[in-house]
Amino acid sequence: MKAAAKKNRFLHALYEYRVAYAYIAPFFLLFAIFNLFPMVYGFFLSFFRWDGMSAMHFIGIENYVNLLKDVLFWKAFKNTLFMGIIAHIPILLGGLVLAYILNSKLVKGQNIFKTIYFMPMVTSSVAITIIFSNLFGYNYGLINWFLSLFGEAPINWLGGDGSLIRVAVIVMFAWKWIGWNMVIYLAGMQGISNDIYEAAEIDGANHVQIVFRILIPLLKPIILFTLIQSTIGMFNLFTEPFVLTGSSWTGGTNNGGLTLMIYLLNKAPQGGTAYGYASAVAYVITVFIVIISFVLNNTMTDKDPYEGKKKRRKSA
Amino acid sequence: MKKRIAGALVLAMAASMFTGAMIAQANEDISGEIEVGGWPSGDDAFKAAMEGFNEAYPNIEVELNFTDTTAHHQALQTSLAAGSGAPDVAMVEGAYIAQYKNSPALTNLRDFGVDDYKDDFGEFKWNQAISDDGTRMVALPWDLGPTLFYYRADVFEEVGLPTAPAEVDELMSTWEGVLEVAEKVSIPGKRWFLPSAAYPYQWMFINRDYYDEDLNLRLERDGDLECLQACLDIRNNGWDMNVDMWSAEAYAAYANGSCVCVAAGSWFSGFLKTDIDPDGAGHWGATRLPGGLPDTNWGGSFLVIPEQSENKEAAWAFVSYMLATSKGQNDMFRAVDYFPAYEPAWDDAPELYTDLDPYFNPAQDPAPNAIATEIAANVPTVYNTIMDTTAEGYLYSSFNAGAEAGETPEQIRDRLAADIEAACAELKEQQIQTLKDAGVWEE
Amino acid sequence: MKTLLLLLLGLAVLLIVIAKVHPVGKKISLYVVLIIIALIMLLPFYMMFVMSTLKTNEIYSFPPIVTFGSNLATNFKNMNEAVNLPRALMNSCIVTISYVILVLFFCSIGGYAFSVYDFPGKNILFTILLGTMMIPPTAGMIPWFIMMSKFGWVNDFKALIIPSCANAFGIFWMRQYCQNNVPKALMEAARIDGCSEWTIFFRVIAPILKPAYASLGIMNFVNQWNEFTQALLILKKTKYFTLPLLLRSMVSDRGTDVGAMMLASTCAVLPLLICFLCASKFFMDGLTAGAVKE
């Protein structure tokens, strides 16, 4: 009886709020069909050895074990993390500073600058990577030519011992994302009342203090939002390092530009046919992203209980 | 089991008699539309031979769908895994054939009597397409890649080196000779001997025989350390561009004479003529690999028919016409320099193979294709695995890493072995699984 | 390297000194910094335009050519011989426009519902929705592809349009905007007038959401216009190629005609750039007014 009553109540609620449920239904339906199902199936695959064509062989957690033992996987992990962390310095700080300058009414023509800084978001990565590989070219590159004007020997950015590939990737990553972050921060800053700046200036605070003491704390939820977004972007880093290293699955010399996504796609479906193994890699990467998002979320929202609550709602 | 094989044989024989009859005159019984997928310039080749095909099979319509090599293989692989979306006939590059030779997702060409053609194809190429248990053959060889050493004869002449293939061959038959040439043609920062110093070492492995049948990595071979030492000398003297030979940068350098030498399969002649250096008649010469390296093969493609094709008969008609008739093969050879794996084609139009090629330097006698014909006869049969392409990637990057770290040839070889083993671990497991499934693997 | 670093350091010191000396100096230094950054941002675009007017061997020459060349017509001819750009442009338009329309529709009703209605399970559902944003799409790529082929959606634009047309980010975005900009009083008034919920949304709410539509629309437009990974798996026939696939297909082992390719890239980016420049103000307003504002 109780169950029936519960069911009844459920149906009743469903009916009463049918409009709201109908409005949000498309997302959940499409997600279940096109994302959830493949993900569950991918999880299932990750326990098999399967080349995509012949018979599947159940091997338990062997894929996960092999993967965690693979030195290349950890190299890729380190590279991804390294590039991600370094690239976040310009895109976070640079984005903030640019947003602050454009918001401060110190300069005119904000709209022009905003538009120019945002333009890289609008480009196709295939084309832009080819341009960057020209800019960073060893024998004919624009950057090496610029260096030669100062009497420098050419630098083998994309070759050499492989470490400079990361510089090129970071430059591309920052180039693309700095404008995006700036716009988001600008949006946040315009929500902060001018009185706060004025009060701070009267108290004798300089710009650096205003940015670090006032703006960053107030913008925390927004910063968190951009951080999580660019973290996901960082774990998905593929086209840039791949094309810069001449479409090589090794990620260049010493695996310098090997990212997790190159590692994954090299196993399947682009480079190889290790479908089960690749599914396991995808799951481990997902776990990394969830952990990092969780840590970011917690370190940035634990101070003030009131603020914390407010922000958790938005960033979750 | 035996019975089934016998049954298949009878069927195959019947089918082969049937196909044998088909070739003779126009066959109007087979009809329909087929889609053929691959990468350029396979499309140019097919277009060149299409007229003949249409005469032989007036009722088959062919749609060509071509994209770049990597995208093509990826699309093919995913659609085979998914069970739909593949073309009726697909090109497969030699480097990838090991991934496909055991695939149940591809049609066994023996059902169409492919064995009738066995004697018409070189053994090493034929064997690459046979499954590990020996029962199936899923691909028919299209072309060979007898490896040639291409050099800018105009630059050689400029610096006072000989330009005739025999003389160049003689001069560069030792590594000392190679280094001497490298030094002469190079101008630091302006002109380089090779795109990358890693390549002479790669030439030793270019037939992709990294593993033996017990899947042991075997990198050690005659003269490998001397070869590596020569590579290091080239690098340390700044005689190479230090870029990938397939990069746009290197291509521009081939065309404008700032990268003087490069080696590749003889299909590279076609690359030079139509894409890399189309205005460069007279620039180039070609001969055997330098440094006393043995004759070898570099790539060459196959055609396969996916099991999901709905018109396999027409697909096979296409494959057998294009690859196993002299007219089909030679029409394509003339258009794009894909050296026919089908040997009767060589005798059918000998002038294609022996006549001097006006694109090459006047001193180029014998013609590149005549040299290629000789090389083709000497290529040994090798054992291919799914690890080959990955291993090949490391030949380039591990050499660069070792050279950068100032290592000795032995250290570079050890580094390479370690890198390949690490990168191929999972692939090797998969290869073992495949061999187990085929019943030819013993622990 | 030293001279270069010294020069950069000198420039920085100079700017700081100028800024300290006089209030006008401060402005000058700020402008200098902003303009330098703007130039860096524009450089790759500029190089793309320049390269589309050069021959391949001019692109690979030293010192590099940084001014417009005279090979535009030839590149244009070669591009048209190699690929069917108008076709790809049309394909990209079909995919992108239909995708954006669906996204705007589904995300706005979803975000609106999460913002204004109180219904059982709302918080949990919203948390789930946010959680899905963290999952990288690659986790289910193979099964997703297998599914698409079972649906018969290989070589079909539907596969690029339908699966993600109601996406979590869009709903989140719209909800934030509604939260800040939809007055409940207005809805109440409309309800009293006897409007159905559906009419309220279309007549009353949708017009208010315009700026949010603009910003979300542009973001999704950009993403879909440049979508590569899924398109590569799904669209195999050249006649279905979208612009990123077309560009990729111009990169070839046989030698890339870099000039023609850059011209094609320019053609792919230009429509977007023009749209963006025209709608830039609207777009920025939408971003500012909506979303992440607390």
* Residue of A101, A179, A316 with shortest CB distance to C30: A101
**pLDDT tens digits for A72-126?**
999 999 999 999 889 988 899 899 989 988 888 778 888 889 889 988 887 877 7
Is B177 within a domain?
A: yes
Q: Give the three-class secondary structure for A137.
A: coil
Residues B276, B382, single domain; the answer is: yes
Last residue of a domain, one of B349, B373, B389: B349
Strands (E), chain A: 48-49, 57-58
Measured on CA atoms in the order B110, B112, B118, B124, is the torsion positive or negative?
negative
Please answer yes or no on whether B386 and A272 come within 8 Å at the CB atom.
yes
Please answer yes or no on whether C136 and A134 come within 8 Å at the CB atom.
no
Residues B332, B412, single domain; the answer is: no
Please answer yes or no on whether C42 and A116 come within 8 Å at the CB atom.
yes
Question: What CA–CA distance (Å, rounded) separates B302 from B140?
Answer: 5
Residue contacts between A and B (CB atoms, under 8 Å): 107
Give phi and psi for B122, each to the nearest 5: -60, 145
Please answer yes or no on whether C149 and B275 come within 8 Å at the CB atom.
no
Q: Give the three-class secondary structure for B139.
A: strand
Measured on CA atoms in the order B77, B83, B85, B91, is the torsion positive or negative?
positive
Q: What residue in B sits closest to C233 (Cα-Cα)?
A: B75
Residues B312, B260, single domain; the answer is: no
Query: Is-cis flag, bond preceding C23, omega within 30?
Result: no
Is A4 within a domain?
A: no
Please state the domain count of chain A: 1
Q: Are A69 and B429 in contact (CB under 8 A)?
A: no
Q: Are B379 and B207 in contact (CB under 8 A)?
A: yes
Question: What CA–CA distance (Å, rounded) separates C123 from A2?
Answer: 25
Question: What CA–CA distance (Å, rounded) separates B388 from B298?
Answer: 13
Q: Which residues of chain B have pLDDT under 70?
A: 1-25
pLDDT for residue C139: 63
Examine the pLDDT at A1 and tell me if it is beyond 80: no
Residues B157, B276, single domain; the answer is: yes
Domain extents for chain C? 2-74, 79-289
| Span A145-172, average pLDDT | 89
Examine the pLDDT at A311 and tell me if it is beyond 80: no
Q: How far away is chain A from the Cα of B103, in angstroms, using its nearest Cα?
A: 6
Q: How far away is chain B from the Cα of A253, in angstroms, using its nearest Cα?
A: 5
Amino acid (one-letter) located at B304: V
Chain B residues touching residue A131 (CB < 8 angstroms): none
Q: What is the CATH number of the domain that holds B375?
A: 3.40.190.10
* Residue of B70, B104, B393 with shortest CB distance to A250: B393
Is A231 within a domain?
A: yes
Please answer yes or no on whether A23 and C113 come within 8 Å at the CB atom.
yes
Question: What CA–CA distance (Å, rounded) separates B228 from B20?
Answer: 50
Please answer yes or no on whether B99 and A138 come within 8 Å at the CB atom.
no
Residues B151, B132, single domain; the answer is: no
C266, C249, C248: which is closest to C68 by C-alpha? C266
Residue entry with tokens 């968190």: A224
Considering only CB atoms, which residues of chain B are within 8 Å of chain C?
37, 39-41, 65-69, 71, 74-75, 78-79, 81-85, 246, 248-249, 251-253, 255-256, 271, 274-276
DSSP string, C80-123: HHH--HHHHHHHHHHHHHHHHHHHHHHHHHHHHHHHH---TTHH
Please answer yes or no on whether B397 and A273 come within 8 Å at the CB atom.
no
Task: Please indicate if any CB of chain B lies within 8 Å of the CB of A153.
Answer: no
Residues B310, B193, single domain; the answer is: no
Higher pLDDT, A154 or B231: B231
Fold of domain C79-289? MetI-like fold (1.10.3720)
Q: How far away is chain A from the Cα of C196, in angstroms, using its nearest Cα?
A: 10
Q: Which residues of chain C have pLDDT under 50?
A: 291-294
Please answer yes or no on whether C60 and B249 come within 8 Å at the CB atom.
yes
Please answer yes or no on whether A115 and C280 come within 8 Å at the CB atom.
yes
Chain A residues touching residue B394 (CB < 8 angstroms): 250
pLDDT for residue C138: 64
Please answer yes or no on whether C273 and A225 come within 8 Å at the CB atom.
no
pLDDT for residue A301: 64
Please answer yes or no on whether A175 and C40 come within 8 Å at the CB atom.
yes
Q: How far away is chain C from the Cα of B70, in angstroms, using its nearest Cα?
A: 9
| Span A124-137, average pLDDT | 84
pLDDT for residue C27: 85
Q: At what angle do helices C258-289 and C23-51 cross, to 10 degrees?
A: 140
Residues B230, B363, single domain; the answer is: yes
Chain C residues touching residue A239 (CB < 8 angstroms): 228
pLDDT for residue A304: 44
Chain B residues touching residue C154 (CB < 8 angstroms): 79, 82, 84-85
DSSP state of B1: -
Q: How far away is chain A from the Cα of C111, in angstroms, using its nearest Cα?
A: 8
Question: What CA–CA distance (Å, rounded) separates C146 from B78?
Answer: 8
pLDDT for residue B25: 66
Residues B135, B159, single domain; the answer is: no
Please answer yes or no on whether B276 and C149 come within 8 Å at the CB atom.
no
Q: Give the three-class secondary structure for B217.
A: strand
* Residue of A23, A126, A179 with shortest CB distance to C244: A126
> Is the ipTM above a cut-off of 0.90?
no
> Which partners does chain B have (≥3 C-beta pairs < 8 Å)?
A, C
Chain B residues touching residue C155 (CB < 8 angstroms): 85
Is B273 within a domain?
A: yes
**pLDDT tens digits for C132-180?**
877 766 667 778 888 888 888 888 999 999 998 998 889 988 888 888 7
Residues B42, B120, single domain; the answer is: yes
Cβ-Cβ contacts under 8 Å for A17 (sequence gap 6 or more): C117, C119, C120
B368, B345, B306, B295: which is closest to B142 by C-alpha? B345
Q: How far away is chain C from the Cα of A86, in angstroms, using its nearest Cα?
A: 19
Residues B102, B234, single domain; the answer is: no
pLDDT for residue A14: 79
Task: Please indicate if any CB of chain A lies within 8 Å of the CB of C56.
Answer: no
Q: What residue in C sits closest to A187 (Cα-Cα)?
A: C288
B85: domain range? 17-143+299-349
Examine the pLDDT at A146 and tell me if it is beyond 80: yes
Q: Are B346 and B340 in contact (CB under 8 A)?
A: yes
Look at the pTM and tell me if it is higher than 0.95: no
Q: What is the CATH number of the domain that holds A136?
A: 1.10.3720.10
Is A5 within a domain?
A: no
- Interface probe with C: pick from B67, B254, B271, B277, most Cβ of C within 10 Å: B67
Mean pLDDT of chain A: 84
DSSP string, C201-228: IIIIIHHHTHHHHHHHHHHHHHHHHT--
Q: Give the three-class secondary structure for B130.
A: strand
Q: How far away is chain A from the Cα of C77, in angstroms, using its nearest Cα?
A: 19
* Residue of B75, B248, B274 with shortest CB distance to C236: B75
